[in-house]
Every structure is written in structure tokens, then in C-alpha cells.
Amino acid sequence: MTEPEPTTTKMGRPVFEVEGASVTYDMDRGVSRVLDDATIDIFEEEILGVVGESGSGKSMFASSLLNAVPPPGTLDGEIRYHRDGEVIDLLGLSPEQLRRVRWEDVAMVFQGAQSSFNPTISIRRHFEETLEAHEYDIENGLEHARQLLADLYLDPERVLGSYPHELSGGMQQRALIALSLVLEPDVLVMDEPTAALDLLMQRSILSLLENVKEKYELTVVFITHDLPLVAGLADRLAVMYSFKFVEIGRAEDVFSNPKHPYTRALLNAIPNLDTPRSRMHPIEGSAPDPVNVPTGCSYHPRCPLADEQCEAAEPPLAETTDKHHAACYYWEEAMEEIELSIESDEPAVDDTVVGRQSDEPVVSVDAVDVHFEQGGGGLFGFFSDPDTVHAVDDANLEIYENDVVALVGESGCGKTTLGKAIIAAQRPTNGTVRYRGQDIWGTRDGRVDGEIPWEQIRRSLQMIHQDPGSSLNSHRKIKSSLEDPLRRWHPNMDPGDREERILGMLEYTGMSPPTDYALRYPHQLSGGEKQRVALIRALLMNPDVILADEAVSALDVSLRLEMMDLMLELQDAFDTSYVFISHNLSNARYFAGNADGRIGVMYLGELVELGPVDEVIDEPLHPYTKVLKWATDDMELSDRIEDPPIRGIDIPDPVNPPAGCRFHTRCPEARTVCREESPSLDEAVSAHPTACFREYPMEHPYWDSEPVDDAEETVTGDPIDAG
């Protein structure tokens, strides 16, 4: 599967020649140029990774390759497609010819698989109507489809017979890839195909994609905001900034030896598992507006090397060294002056962060279960037997003052539910949650007569949500949104003091001038600014614990570090603890590590490993944590993407979790005893609590037990038989 030197052999004949392609929209404010003079060749059977942040024009480039720019945009320039020696001018085709080229020669996979399928017709029908529309033989076509689905580790009959909503997100995305390949195209354009998925699923799909690409001799254009994700997969990388290509070159060159200042800054801004945390830096400033692109080099306002020349004239995309192009006058200086965090000569040791955690826990969670009932309900609910979802089972956790606990896991593992239980936003089914030793729900119900009133507990536990856009009322000014909590909890506060406090917080978080920001509406703020407002709103309560539920996931890559830095800075100022929920191990490492916090790994409702950041990241003990680490570990370019160290791609149904250790259906180390017995966190003799028999004392029956054989395994709720 792996080829020793893939790039040199493949720089063969071009399959696409794009010259000066531009996409423009006429808007009231002026002409919006969302793809600016893109020129690039795409070669046969290569994987071209196109990387850019949101609003960099990368999706427009993808649409241009199918001449399918959403109206009313206009596409100019020249795009030539080579089919068996024949050259096709993509912009000069008749509608019928264009219809033929699309999907038969060039197919596309979109980001949201869920919204790419018609919800009211079955997956099989999607395949059939595509084959019918292109007058392919239905029987042969469906046979090919079955083969493709099987290649993507899906059960063909089950998937074909399903409706889109009956499949999980990862399965939908793979079914969509199969649908795009059913007419055997030469080129597959993928626009953020994995952005909506968990890291583990992203990785698994990428490794499948590589196999499929080899098998069907495809050329793949892979568009993503995630540079490390695609670096191991792609043969060549093209980086976009402000609707232009700023750097194009072989993947290893661009990744390990980037020449454009933006690429270098972007690499330093992306959290990862290996680089010392102190060497990651956010990019200052923000990306330009498509109507008002700066003159000269569009990156000059953010570039540390910019001078008059950069402001006056735009640098061309020129070849620097062997087949490595960069649009910068000072690429040689950039390579010297902007140091890459991964290749620094300084010893890779972080300053030891000493936490300021207290001895007494603020919140302690004791044997908490949270179960949800599905179905049933209503007047006649008793006729149906409701399914119980075990969102959280038997969780024990203590949060101290000035603490940071990062909960990580795949979607559906119960991390959000546990987080909500910690801040008393979700009533547990069993178990108790205590605030400074006092039973929270007992206080709420009046059963416990404690010293701390319920209102104070409620105020002390706050939350910020994933999507900053929807957690602020769009019809109210920032000031009114921020005034509410103060008015509610400090009714006697002078309006002048209130305003002063709000303005002070805005200023403190870098939103200046604060009087201007206070009078804006949420839509006039950027995503990062909205998230800061949400953070201020939570902090105005002077809370003891803030639940940050995927608080940085919706932000652009270059802004994530900045936001996390701000949160940590505010922790120092306000003595707050954070429960940080993330599906991304690198973010969790950066955030929790900088406060000497802990990482808790969750799988199917259970905490499986809990320990200090560096221990969990550097020496993960639970097999599941190792899998997560595999999915995140990406700064190694030398080895190509290998098969996942896991036996099933899809997560089992939480309604019917596997008996015994819940991870045994996917665990590479599972033995027969794991099917019957369930390990617990506190019996392990390892450095930190780990719910795995491998960390139990040596006399445990695990070591005498037989390894689980895939052939006889009946996997519950998991249709995938991973080979």
C-alpha cells in the first residue's frame, strides 16, 4: 500500500490546467472577488491538498473545477480538463456536455454528508437515479456501488437499504464518497469531507481514501482547513490565503519547509501533541474581507516581515526552489526569521507549569449516572418500551479551585452530559454532585439544609457553548446581553458601575474600543469576538467553574490558540476552574497542560482514563487513549497513513452498550475476559487511574485469557467488520 517515493513518479501528465480562474459576486458594497486569479496544474493520480482557513476561497476553487460556482457568481479564466489525451475547455461546454463531465469525469464530495442526501429517498435510490441520469447499466452500476461500499468498510446491503438519517455521520460520509465514485470518475474533488466528523473517524476515512484512490486510480483534490490532517495524505499541498494561492509545493516541502510567512505562522498556530506548548503562537490580526482586500500582498497587515514593497505591489507566485512556489518577496528571510515550532533547535522542554489548585474540591461528582429515555413519553407512552441511553455511567470526578479538566472522546461518548452534570445543568439519574461538600440537587429540592443557598450554587457554575453565534441573542446589543446577568444577581448595582464593569471586561479581553463594541449587535462581531463575549458573560458571575463545551472548535484554526490563551489568562485573574470539553486531543493538551490540569478520556459514557496532561499524552495507558492519540498524532510526515489500530470504525449504539468492558468490541488488546467483566478506574495499579485490566495487578485473569478472535465476534450495534 505504501510507496517509497510516490511524488516523483506521479508528477506526470496534468489532468487539470487552471489558469487565472477568478470568481466574482456583485454585491451592494462592491465586487466581491472570492477566488482571485488561481493558477495551478493538477497531475494524474496525485492527491492535491488545498489548505486554507474559512473565507480563503478554497471552496470556490473546488466548485470551479466542476464549473459549478453557485449563482449569481461568475467564473472567468481558463480551466482545461484532459481526458485520454483530449483537452476539454470546461468553461466553454454546452450544458449537456457539462452535465456529462460532472460526475462521469469529475465528481465532488461535500462537507455535510447529512445534507447532501435527499432525506426522503433511500441510499439505493440515490445510486440508481445517478446511474439512470447518465445512462449507465443499473445492475452493473449497483454491483460497482456494492464493491465501493465494501471497500469503505460498509455493509453494502444494509447501507443501500437505509434512508440517510438511519446512518451515522461517518457512515453517511463514506456512503457519499461511494456515491461520488459510482460512475468511475478520474478526478474526485473533496470539499472538507471530514470536517464534521470526529478525529478518529477522520483518520479512518483518510486511510480508506488512500486505499480507494490506489485501487481506482483516482486524482484527488482534498480541500481542508486542517493542514496537519492532509499533510500525510497529500502528494502536493497548495495553501490559500485571501482567495489566492500563496504557496504550492510537494507536501513534505510545504509542511516541513514552508516558505510563505502565512504558512509558517499557520503551522505554529495549530496545536499538536509533540511541540512544546510554549512554542505555539496564534497569528495576530484577522483574515481580510473579500470586498476590501489590502493592496499589495494581502497578508502584509499580519506579516512581521512586511515593508513598503509588500504594501505597494503584489508578489507573484514564483518558483523558489525545485517545484516549490511561494508568493512572497522575502521567502528566504521568512525561512530564517519565522522559526517553525516543530524544528526548533532549542530543547523541547516546556516550562513546568505549577498549578494553583486547592486541596478541597469545589465540585465533586460521586458515582453519577445519567440515563436518557428514548421513545415512549406522551399520553400512551406506557405502551412502548422506552430505550435507555446510558449517557454517563458511574462517573467520579473532583474539580478543584483553579483547576482545568479536559474531557475528551468521540461524539456520543457522554462528555457533554458529564460536563453538564458537573455544573448542575443536568440532573443525574443516580449519584450525587456536591458543591463545596454540599449536595447540589438536595439543596435545589430543599432536602438538604446547607449553608450555601441554591442561587449561589447556580451562579457559581457557568457554561460557554460551542456555537457562539447561537448563544447570543441576535436582536440585542452586546451591552444588553452582558447587563442581564449583573442585573439579575446584583440588583442593587449602580447602572454606571454596571456599564463600567462591562466596558472594563471588553477592554480586558482585547475588544477595544469597548464603547464601540458594547453597542454592536452579535452579527457585527467575528466568531472569535462572539466567543469572547460569551466568555465575559459567564465570567461576570464570578463563577467557580466554567464548562467550556467545544468552546474553540467552531473557531478558525489560527484563532483557537488565541482564545485558549485568553481563557487561561482570565483564569489567573478570576480564579476560575474550567471543565474543557473537546474531541480534539491537541486542544485539550494545550489548554489543560498550560494550567497543570488533568485530561479525562471518555468512552461510551464511562471515564476510562484520568490523569495529568503530560502523563496521559506521553504515555497513554488505556488502549482507547492510544487510539485517540494515533488519530491526533500527525506531525510525522515520514510515514504514510496506516490502518487504524482499532478493530471497528463505528462506535457501538449507546442504547445497547457491549457487555463487559465497553471498548472490547473495538479494542486491539481485548481478550475473552473483557467480554464478561468490566474494569474500573480505581483498581488499576498504574500511575494514574485507568479502567483497563492491563493496568491491574499481574495476577488478574486477563493475562491468562484468550485474545478475542474477530471471526467469532458478534459485534453489537456495529455493522462494520474491520479487517
Partner 1 sequence: MVNYYLARTAQALFTVFAVMTLAFGLIRLMPGGPMDFVRAQLQQEAGAVDQAQINAMVEVYTNVHPEQPLLDQYVDYMSGIMRGDLGVSMWYDRPVSEILAMALPWTVFVMTISLAFTFGIGISLGAAMAYAEGSRFDSISTLVSIFLNSIPYYVAAIVMVYFLGYESGMFPIGGRISSDVTPGLNIPFIASAFYHAALPIASFVITAFGIQALAMRGNSIRVLGEDYLRVAQLRGLPPHDIALRYIGRNAILPMYTGFMISIGFMFGGSVILEEIFAYPGVGFYMFRGIEARDYPLMMGAFILITVAVVIGVYVADLTYGKLDPRASTKGGDREAF
**Residues at the site binding partner 1, with contacts judged by CB under 8 A:** 66, 68, 70, 99-100, 102-104, 107-108, 110, 112, 115-122, 129-130, 133-134, 163, 165-166, 168-169, 179, 372, 374-375, 378-381, 383-385, 387, 389, 391, 411-412, 414, 416-417, 653-655
User: To which residue does cell 478525529 refer?
Assistant: 199
Output the smallest distance, CB 131 to partner 1, in A. 10
CB 567 within 8 A of CB 548: yes
CA distance 617 to 268: 19
Looking at beta carbons only, is 468 or 652 nearer to partner 1?
Answer: 652
Q: In DSSP terms, which residues pair with 42 in a beta bridge?
A: 16
- Computed on alpha carbons and rounded to an integer, the radius of gyration of the chain in Å comes to 27
Backbone angles phi, psi at 646, to 5 degrees: -150, 150
Report the C-alpha gap between 591 and 597 in whole angstroms: 8
Check if the beta carbon of residue 207 is closer than 8 Å to that of residue 642.
Answer: yes
In sequence order, which ranges of 55-137 are alpha helices (DSSP H)?
A: 58-64, 95-104, 113-116, 123-133
Output 358 or 384, the one with its CB closest to partner 1: 384
Q: Return the ∠ at Cα 267 (arms to 527 and 588), rounded to 5°.
A: 65
What DSSP string describes 601-644? EEETTEEEEEEEHHHHHHS--SHHHHHHHHHH-----SSPP---
Least distance in Å: CB of 180 to partner 1? 9
How many residues are recorded in the chain? Answer: 723
- Summary count for the chain: helices (H), strands (E): 27, 22
List all residues 6 or more positions away from 646 whose beta carbon is below 8 Å from its beta carbon: 200, 204, 627, 666, 667, 668, 722
Closer residue to partner 1 in complex, CB, 219/577:
219
> What minimum distance in Å lies between the beta carbon of 383 and partner 1?
4
**Distance in Å, CB of 177 to partner 1, minimum:** 12
d(CA 291, CA 303): 20
Q: Which is nearer to partner 1, 648 or 654 (CB)?
A: 654
CB of 109 to partner 1, least distance (A): 9
Alpha-carbon distance of 332 to 345, in angstroms, equals 19
From the CB of 374, what's the least distance to partner 1, in Å? Answer: 4
Which CB atom, from 136 or from 330, has the smaller least distance to partner 1?
136
| Cβ-based nearer residue to partner 1, 219 or 509 | 219
CA-to-CA distance for 581 and 599, rounded, in angstroms? 10
Report the nearest approach of partner 1 to the CB of residue 368 (Å): 15
Smallest separation, CB 578 to partner 1 (Å): 22
| 25 neighbors 32 (Cβ within 8 angstroms) | yes
What whole-number distance in Å separates Cα of residue 271 and Cα of residue 557?
9
Minimum distance, C-beta of residue 386 to partner 1, in the bound complex (Å): 9
> 191 vs 235, which CB is nearer to partner 1?
191
Between residues 138 and 318, which has the closer beta carbon with respect to partner 1? 138
Smaller CB separation from partner 1, 384 or 470: 384
Amino acid letter, residue 569: E
What's the min distance (Å) between Cβ of 99 and partner 1? 4
CB nearer to partner 1: give 104 or 398.
104
Minimum Å gap between C-beta 717 and partner 1 is 10
Task: Supply 297's cell numbers.
Answer: 500582498
Q: Is 374 helix (H, G, I), strand (E, B) or coil?
A: strand
End-to-end CA distance of the chain: 15
What is the phi/psi pair of residue 428, to 5°?
Answer: -75, 150
Nearer to partner 1 by C-beta: 386 or 469?
A: 386
